[in-house]
Amino acid sequence: MKTAIITGAAGGIGFEITKAMTEAGYHVVMACRNIKAAEVKIAEILTCNKNGSIEVIYLDLSDLNSVISFVSEISRKFDSVDLLMNNAGMIPTCFELTSDGFERTVCINYVAPYLLTRKLIPLMPEGARIVNMISCTYKHGKIELPDFFYYGRRGDFRRLSIYSNTKLALLFFTFELSKRLQQKGISVNAADPGIVSTNIIRMKKWFDPLADIFFRPFIKTPEQGASAVIKLLLADEFAGVTGQVSAGGKLKNIKPEYQNQPIQAQLWEDTENLIWKHLGLNNY
């Protein structure tokens, strides 16, 4: 049985992806911080799919030691990983540093997925798929090094700007990693689900309840947002496709400046240097 790992699998889009992977016959590992919430979702899935194979393993993306512990458990329990869905993400409400010294949003949305992916690659066979969840907001992102890692951006704290920057970083990671893994036959792509009605867009400003009332009915449901991502994960038409972005279930034309920016390779190098003690001997 093939194995799929999905971060942020207990809520919103992640839960819909988890259901689809289970129905497709994968053994699904829900990589979650809230174990109780994940167990409730597992019970819900197994009620409809009694033959489903699914479990939850603790993962806190704000703590790089948690990432290492998670990978160690995966390595102990499984011979291979056939699919990795880096789905988890957050929008900040205030400035906060992690114990590793990174701005919290940058760690959860970019640094930890980078580390998780790099550490799992040795377990991935030819034909494995890696999908990173980005957002259309990457177009508004700007990565200024080294400020990006410690403050999210240069200048005042702005939550949406920081979120956009992390999604641009994840897009750059997708492009760079796809080049490095092409010879191994592992595909690396990014998925843009569109604007989806999930808890990630619930923020703590006075106008947010009004935004909920007026705008949420016009944006996608988690099921709609997940459908395009699921296609990228499972459809035969995407087998062997790598270094691409899927939006609405179709490959999207990305402007050349996003694919060939010099900062792409610099971001990879800087990230590797900052987390080298966690990476160990990893050539990918």
Q: Could you tell me the residue ranges of all domains in the chain?
A: 3-279
pLDDT at 136: 86
* Range among 65-74, 132-141, 206-215, 244-253 with highest mean pLDDT value: 65-74
Cβ neighbors of 229 (< 8 A, separation 6 or more) are: 13, 17, 85, 87, 131, 133, 191, 193, 246
Across all residues in the chain, what is the average pLDDT? 89
Looking at 8-12, 59-63, 124-128, 227-231, which range is the least confident one? 227-231
CATH class of segment(s) 3-279 = alpha beta
Residue 254 or residue 195, greater confidence = 254
Per-residue pLDDT, averaged over 97-121, amounts to 98
Please report which confidence band the pLDDT of residue 198 belongs to, taking 50, 70 and 90 as the band edges. Answer: low
Q: Assess whether pLDDT exceeds 70 at residue 68.
A: yes
pLDDT at 201: 47
Q: What percentage of the chain carries pLDDT values higher than 90? A: 74
Residue 249 or residue 165, greater confidence = 165
Residue 218 or residue 112, greater confidence = 112
